[in-house]
Structure 1
């Protein structure tokens, strides 16, 4: 897929490294961000074909009283079992990738830069290529594993054991550094994070 004059920039990180904070900053600055997680929530909405496939495979125990998918219950299942996680990804990801591709097509004439926020971008990079989605740059929102662990426990109100399971289910954050164009270091405060975002934006514009 040719981008014309529009730059496609992927934003990734590890769980609880501060990726959403960076994308919020970009949105506030007027940039368009395509959020893979939001798209994933839309494609599994109640009574969609994806929803039915997930319920058929994982059973009705993963549903809330209103019939919608309980993401916490489903998360607890898949973070502990690699096969289940792969199965869920196989069901959901093709629909997410197709929606991302269509959203890029709709927006690339009017935007100079399109940001795509994808938690598992490096792990999924080959699938993006299959759908013709090519990134001009990939930014990694980085923090060390100890900070990541503490933030995840606080943010999700989960045990240390549960947080470790979730972090271990992803590629180690230090390994991700090898695959990216730029690293945004989020070990400091929010002010320092925003300064880095501004610096990087100046460089690419």
Structure 2
């Protein structure tokens, strides 16, 4: 089984690219989904977050107050480091479990969609890394529209992550997402074909490139 780590800056279009890989037959594991699993009410990680941040980190129903937490960590680097220290090991362990389950079921190509792949050291869990790259102005516009943020808040979130040039330097593959969806998809199809070939499965069907 081959695992490709898929990462990039916030708002770069990783989810769209991950969906394209899934449509081509890859199994996709999303770090954001794993992050939600580890903080269900009563989970040890959520208990640790309450110990660190207080009851304000919880909603009235006992679930994680994601809005409050996001505002806190993007304005306080120490709080962000503490959040990462608490959550990253649990996410990594759950990812390992998912990969093992997929391997048992015969999966050959797995995409690990992880926004903080490098920051969390999760690049050590994958066989290769692809970065979804986009110009900063496009990234800023997408992020502001998607999360309903003003420019200052959006820039703070972008700045909280590893700079894109550094991610590109450390990546094995780069997917340019500045153009149309069709242009992005062509790159994904080519990369998927390469992964399939490396995994010894034979070629991707030509119609998938349309």
Which TM-score applies when normalising by structure 1? 0.90
**Equivalent pair of 2:130/2:171 in contact (CA under 8 Å):** yes
Partner of 1:15: 10
Residue 80 of structure 1 is matched in structure 2 by 75
Query: Which ranges of structure 2 fall in alignment gaps of 5 or more residues?
Result: 197-210
Q: Aligned-pair RMSD on alpha carbons? A: 1.3
> For residues 75 and 41 of structure 2, what CA distance do their matches in structure 1 show?
25
Residue 150 (structure 1) aligned to one of 118, 122, 141: 141
- The aligned counterpart of 1:94 is 89
For residue 114 of structure 1, the aligned residue among 95, 110, 118 is: 110
| Cα pair 1:145 1:173 within 8 Å, conserved | no
CA contact (8 A) 1:108 1:114 kept: no
Runs of 4+ more than 6 Å apart: none
Aligned-pair distance for 1:146?
1.0
Counterpart of 2:161 (choices 170, 190, 194) is 170
Partner of 1:26: 21
Tell me, in whole angstroms, the C-alpha distance in 1 between the residues paired with 2:180 and 2:146.
16
Paired position in structure 2 for 1:3: none
Aligned counterpart, 2:200: none
Q: Give the corresponding residue for 2:65.
A: 70
Q: CA deviation at 1:29?
A: 2.3
- 1:178 & 1:158 partners in 2: Cα distance? 29
**How much has 1:11 moved relative to structure 2?**
0.4
| Superposed displacement of residue 128, structure 1 | 5.7
**Rounded Cα–Cα distance in structure 1 between residues aligned with 2:101 and 2:95:** 10
Alignment of 1:104 with 2:77, yes or no, is: no
1:159 and 2:169 aligned: no
8 Å Cα contact 1:138/1:182 also seen in 2: yes
1:124 and 2:120 matched: yes
The answer on whether the counterparts of 1:7 and 1:113 sit within 8 Å (CA) in structure 2 is: yes
Residue 206 (structure 2) aligns with: none
Name the CA distance, whole Å, in 2 between partners of 1:89 and 1:11: 19
